[in-house]
Amino acid sequence: MMINDDNVMAEVSAEFNAYEAALMANDIEALDRFFWRSPLAVRFGAGESLFGFEQIAAFRSARAGGSPARTLQATQVVCFGTDHAVTTTEFKRADDKRTGRQTQVWVRFEGDGWRIVSAHVSFSAEKS
């Protein structure tokens, strides 16, 4: 299996960056397009567990003001073959001492392109 093909890395990186832009703009329609429209999609957030696309979409549309602004650091993209990838990043928010962590599992579906099938957001313990 090929790991980190340059073309696949560029595609997934572009999707990751577009997702981040949509998140910061609170573009609900765009955010919905990034997730796999399946009851098998999963998103574990900092305070919620969402199972299936419908729950993920409902969470996004009900979140007043969207996600707080953040700065990314230590972002990695690892691609497995041509149709699977994992993105990881840490993030900082101006009003929070903790470091956030985000993992996304991406799959390329024929006819649909790249979609997030699983996501996890968490925070480290506050450092003194």
Beta strand 84-92 with 113-123: parallel, antiparallel or unpaired? unpaired
Q: How far is CA 54 from the centre of its chain?
A: 16
pLDDT of residue 127: 59
Domain spans, the chain: 6-123
Task: Specify the pTM.
Answer: 0.92
pLDDT in tens, 67-126: 888 999 999 999 999 999 999 999 999 888 889 999 999 999 999 999 999 999 999 876
In angstroms, rounded to a whole number, what is the distance separating the alpha carbons of residues 100 and 104?
14
Q: What is the DSSP code string of 84-116?
A: EEEEEEEEE-TT-SSPEEEEEEEEEETTTEEEE
Exposure string (b/e) for 50-83, b if CB count within 10 Å is 16 or more? bebbebbbeebeeeeeebeebeeeeeebebeeee
pLDDT band, very low/low/confident/very high, at 63 (cuts 50, 70, 90): confident
* pLDDT reported for residue 126: 67
48-73 average pLDDT score: 91
Report the alpha-carbon distance of residue 57 to residue 60 in Å, rounded.
5
Strands 42-44 and 113-123: parallel
DSSP single-letter state for residue 81: T
Query: Which pLDDT belongs to residue 128?
Result: 44
Q: What is the pLDDT of residues 15-44, one digit of tens each?
A: 999 999 999 999 999 999 999 999 999 999
Task: Specify the DSSP class assigned to residue 122.
Answer: E
CATH code 3.40.640.10 for 6-123: no
Q: Are the C-beta atoms of 102 and 120 separated by less than 8 Å? A: yes
Q: Which pLDDT does position 88 carry in this prediction?
A: 98
Instruction: For residues 75 and 9, give the distance between their C-alpha atoms in angstroms, rounded to a whole number.
Output: 13
